[in-house]
Structure 1
């Protein structure tokens, strides 16, 4: 929207002045109302050319445009490639990511593609694998993810303003936003519940990429890392961790003791001392004392003394 600086000119004079522009660019809309002129076209390059010609034409008629009144971009970004409904006959791509930094996606009947990122939260890794898919696939596509966080973020990214919040995913969000703005083909993204075990192609493909990320973690991680992840999910005792993952007693005890959820319900394992007290990890030294005055009665007293730290 542009405005003429000289408001004293008659409306008919302005219409006569912009008539050559309308004739030269018939595919562009040129609307004049009072002292405002609106230029609209699907092609941005054509719009810039028409604007330069309009400025020159008005100047020859003695009309000048104030630079501060020129608005070349709309304040609202309308969705262009982000669809609200699944795209018919488009390729379906399933994505998944784990906190180990392993992300995977599968396209149609093809084999899963694995990408490795820095370890972090599952949401960040899932967002990175979605970014990688949109980078690589230039055709129309339907994205299916089991992260509701990523799905809701990507859905509104095209119409959102510049992301200026200081967060771990700020750079990734800005990259994906720039790619979406330049993307020529539409895409659709939807959420699916993970680990449902339901029949059907959608659940099976989601389960496939999920197993792929888990297998990569099992092949590349150490037994201690797998034991820590297993305990964070199922909160088993140290003996089970030792048997399942072949780690030492001390390492298994450390995993259980470091768990904030287990320490409030399970007694911490003892190592030469009896852990008594009112709070976790407060050690008390135990000893046994025999009382000779009791005579033939075999009686002993257990003593606990707090250990000074």
Structure 2
């Protein structure tokens, strides 16, 4: 199967590499051509200088870029993928976007005879590098089944959530849950620190119980040590939580914790922490705890 991959960021770069390892013929495109060339040298795939060259012969085109506007630029613009893809080919967007954009892309794809699925991923850079991402999909069951060999190359789990857009809505729930866990973990660590508990011993005690989570196992120790220079940057989380709040407004509900967390992340970004990992939330929570002390 000829597969094209557009977007070689911290997620896309290893994901495209796993496709080569799984036996697919892979061509990549990245706006910074040097990165695409380096990827081709590392994995033995092909790179293209233009989107047109990348997708023209592809059976499946995968995108993993930054935000809604980036996706439109790579897919529905005059120089985007849909202008050059073969009828009957498949476009899959792994970017975390709004559900409305997923529905927009499905309509644009249908107009040119291309099938579409929204498929945002969770698991972070480590999940992409280790090929164990969780993939939340929106689209037709037959298309989902056809894409399983592709998803299996870099995913541990892929689940069809419903029609187009439902994959993105599932990802919104994922991000809200992460925000909640980080809020609770931050407050717990602050109490532990003030009470003189050893964090490594505490994590070893709690991680296999009801309080255990990926965030506790992978971020509690680094949060306690004020190390945040890795992982998923808060500027991306601000974008994602914005999608959550917009969707909540469309559903006629409020998400108070999500609103507060998004506000805290915006404040952290404004003070220069925008590229820090989302676990840097503990700094905002600690500041609030000191204000009320």
TM-score, length-scaled by structure 1: 0.28
TM-score, length-scaled by structure 2: 0.29
Q: Whose Rg is larger?
A: 1
